[in-house]
Structure 1
Amino acid sequence: MRIVDFRITRFQFARDRVIGDSQVRAEDAHVAALELIDEQGRVGLGFIQSLFVPLPPEAEITRVFRFEAWPTLEDERAQALVHRVARPRGGNQRAWTLPFHEALQVALWDLAAKQAGLPLWQLLGARRDRVNAYASGLDFHLSDTAFSELFGRADALGYRAFKIKVGHHDFERDLHRLDLLKKAVRRDAQIMIDANEAWSPKEAVMKLERIRDAGHALLWVEDPTLRNDFAGLRHIRQAAPWTALNTGEYLDASGKRALMQADAVDLLNVHGQVTDVMRIGWLAAELGVPVTVGNTFLEVGVHCACALPETEWLEYSFQNFDALVEEPIPIRDGVAIAPEQPGHGLVLSEYARRELRRPDVFDASELGPPPLGLPEREIH
């Protein structure tokens, strides 16, 4: 069951809304599918994503992958590679030229689980197949009307927890958005905010006090200040005990370990690199730090969320990626459910291969309207 081939398919299409936060914005989707193929024709699927600039042409992505990554994969066994521990020394500790890292881990684990005949969540040791999902707007650049409509729709679909972007230069706008959210969603909703490092530690404490005094109870504040300012994060955690501090999103595994050791986090935020997430998740469990799973491409992170102890939340942000796969991860009444079939359950759709493939780079003006999505996954 060795890996004998791979296939890369490049996609580029318009998003159905502008997404972003206090630091960034994005209007188009730049994605490539990575498929690793074993001797028996089984396929492990991962996605290469560039948030802000188009990926190179498909032929160039393939060339770079064949040169940089393929020599470490060819004729290897996926079940061995997912557990392999490398010595991080010198030149072997470096980034890929293109963002292959997460796609490789996801594709390898998908293939390994298929070879084992198990759903990925079971291969990772989970004893449950579902986790709470919260509705995340990536909403900083939306108008007030679009903001209210997005979260009102999320509430109607059964979500009970909602996260909005803050960090505007005019703090009154942040307070106004919280007021709008309160009107758009159910009375007993749980509310989170994400500042994306927009504030200083002292500023964060002052603004959290104003949010509390304005009558808004927060489940957590996410990334209020710089990722490496462990002293500042610890100060926020201690000075604002009425809300949890969720951070770690921007740190690698070593940084997340240092963050926890500095006692500067209440909830550790992890994402889609399965091997890295499980390793740091085990350490978090040893240290008694709960984990939340942030945005993962097409919510594949549900498998890690189910497998890690004390993980209560998975982020879902209404991005129009569903057309890329035959069937997305189901979310029903605010609960994400891990698929039962072997692997992670996502299969590249024939519609995407036929209609959304862009081997060459398109100008944004040439992309046309956003692709038609599947019916709302949350309605069943």
Structure 2
Amino acid sequence: MRISEFRITRFQFARDRVIGDSQVRADDVNIAALELIADTGAVGLGFIQTLFFPLPDQAEIERVFRSEVWPGLEGQPPAGLVHRVGRPRGGNQRAYTLPFHEALQVALWDLAAKQVNLPLHKLLGSRRDKVEAYASGLDFHLSDDEFARFFAHADAIGYRAFKIKVGSPDFDWDLNRLKILKEVVRKDALVMIDSNEAWGAKEALVKLTAIRDAGHDLLWVEDPILRTDYAGLRMLKDAANWTLINSGEYLDASGKRLLMEADATDILNVHGQVTDVMRIGWLAADRGIPVSLGNTFLEVGIHAACALPEVQWLEYSFQNFDHLVDQPVEIRDGWAYAPDRPGHGLVLNETARREWVRPNLLPRSELGEAPFNPRVASALRAA
């Protein structure tokens, strides 16, 4: 199998709710599907995503990809590329002009698994086909009423673990959100909080203590302080012995390695770059550090989650992306199930390609209604 063609399809549409945290917000989706096509006809799918600013026109995405990325892909075997180790130096150590990195890894692994006719999680070495999911609201910008309905809905459909956003300048607001959550979910719920680096190290310890004293048990606190404050994270890890520190989301593979070497996290947070996640996941397993899978586009991270030995939780945030593929990842009763189809199991939906393609950049005011989201529609309609 050799890579012979590529295809890019640009999408831009409204979200069905405002998402964000103490630092950022977004109410639209800006992505492009990357399809790598092999000489056998097999297609590997990944998604180019930018959270906060629109991608350029499709023609420009194609131009940049053809110039910057395609020379290293054309005619190459995907099964070899997924394992290739590089050591760029000087000016060659840089990101792509557009966010191709994750999309490339996902599409290449999709092809590699299809070549051997295996689901991706089995190619990665899985011993299971499901992982427990926790309900994540990305909820900082929701009203209290919207927040309550969202998590009540998640509880009603089987989730037992819930992660909320904190980090408001008004700490009473954070405490109130925890109070609301406790009122709308099951009594034995597991609760996580994520401040997205809103706090300093000592401030975080003071606030975590206040949260505990207010009667709230936390499974973990995610990214409480700056990602590279390894000394502060280690202090929190040692001092806050009633909860766990989950960090690493914002770090690349090298940064995650340094985080673990500093003994500065209880749980390592990883995302959707399959090669990077597996490599750093192997290192985490060697050090006995649990791994959690944060948000991955269309939950493609389920494959790595099933393959790595230290993963208990996968984040699910009910985003309105399911219309883009024929069969989304199944999530039922609070569990995410890895597809048993060859590759990662996600195929770009042809209706979505026709009806939702936006080859040219549109202003936000022209995006129209958000695509229907069946997984959370009842909660959002009530708003």
Q: Which whole-Å CA distance do the structure 2 matches of 1:376 and 1:28 have between them?
A: 17
Aligned length: 377
Task: Note if 1:293 corresponds to 2:293.
Answer: yes
Q: Which whole-Å CA distance do the structure 2 matches of 1:106 and 1:365 have between them?
A: 32
Correspondence 1:132-171 to 2 at 5 A: 132-171=132-171
CA drift at 1:310:
1.5
For residue 63 of structure 2, what is the aligned residue in structure 1? Answer: 63
Q: Does the CA contact (< 8 Å) of 1:164 and 1:194 recur in 2?
A: yes
CA drift at 1:277:
0.2
Correspondence 1:129-278 to 2 at 5 A: 129-278=129-278
Q: Does the CA contact (< 8 Å) of 2:318 and 2:376 recur in 1?
A: no
For 2:181, give the aligned amino acid.
L
Correspondence 1:1-380 to 2 at 5 A: 1-374=1-374
For 2:159, give the aligned amino acid.
Y
Q: Which whole-Å CA distance do the structure 2 matches of 1:274 and 1:163 have between them?
A: 24
Q: Does the CA contact (< 8 Å) of 2:82 and 2:275 recur in 1?
A: yes
CA drift at 1:376:
6.3
Q: Does the CA contact (< 8 Å) of 2:16 and 2:373 recur in 1?
A: no
Q: Which whole-Å CA distance do the structure 2 matches of 1:310 and 1:281 have between them?
A: 8
Q: Does the CA contact (< 8 Å) of 1:274 and 1:304 recur in 2?
A: yes
For 1:370, give the aligned amino acid.
A
For 1:138, give the aligned amino acid.
L
Q: Which whole-Å CA distance do the structure 2 matches of 1:31 and 1:143 have between them?
A: 27
Q: Which whole-Å CA distance do the structure 1 matches of 2:188 and 2:360 have between them?
A: 48
Q: Deviations over 1:306-347 (max 9, x none)?
A: 000110000000110111111110011111000001000101
Q: 1:154 to 1:259 in 2, by over 3 A?
A: same
Q: Which whole-Å CA distance do the structure 1 matches of 2:221 and 2:150 have between them?
A: 21
Q: 1:61 to 1:11 in 2, by over 3 A?
A: same
Instruction: Give SS of 1:312's match.
Output: strand
CA drift at 1:87:
1.7
> What 5-or-longer segments of structure 2 have no aligned partner?
378-383
Deviates more, 1:84-93 or 1:190-199: 84-93
Q: CA RMSD in A?
A: 1.0
CA drift at 1:374:
4.7
For 1:83, give the aligned amino acid.
H
Q: Does the CA contact (< 8 Å) of 1:323 and 1:374 recur in 2?
A: no
Instruction: Give SS of 1:96's match.
Output: coil
For 1:200, give the aligned amino acid.
G
Q: Deviations over 1:338-371 (max 9, x none)?
A: 0001000101011211111000001111110001
Point out 4+ residue stretches in structure 1 off by more than 4 angstroms: 374-377
Q: TM-score normalized by structure 1?
A: 0.98
Q: Which whole-Å CA distance do the structure 1 matches of 2:92 and 2:124 have between them?
A: 27
Q: 1:212 to 1:376 in 2, by over 3 A?
A: closer
Q: Deviations over 1:223-248 (max 9, x none)?
A: 00000000000111111010000001
Instruction: Give SS of 1:12's match.
Output: strand
For 1:77, give the aligned amino acid.
P
For 1:84, give the aligned amino acid.
R
Q: Which whole-Å CA distance do the structure 2 matches of 1:123 and 1:88 have between them?
A: 28
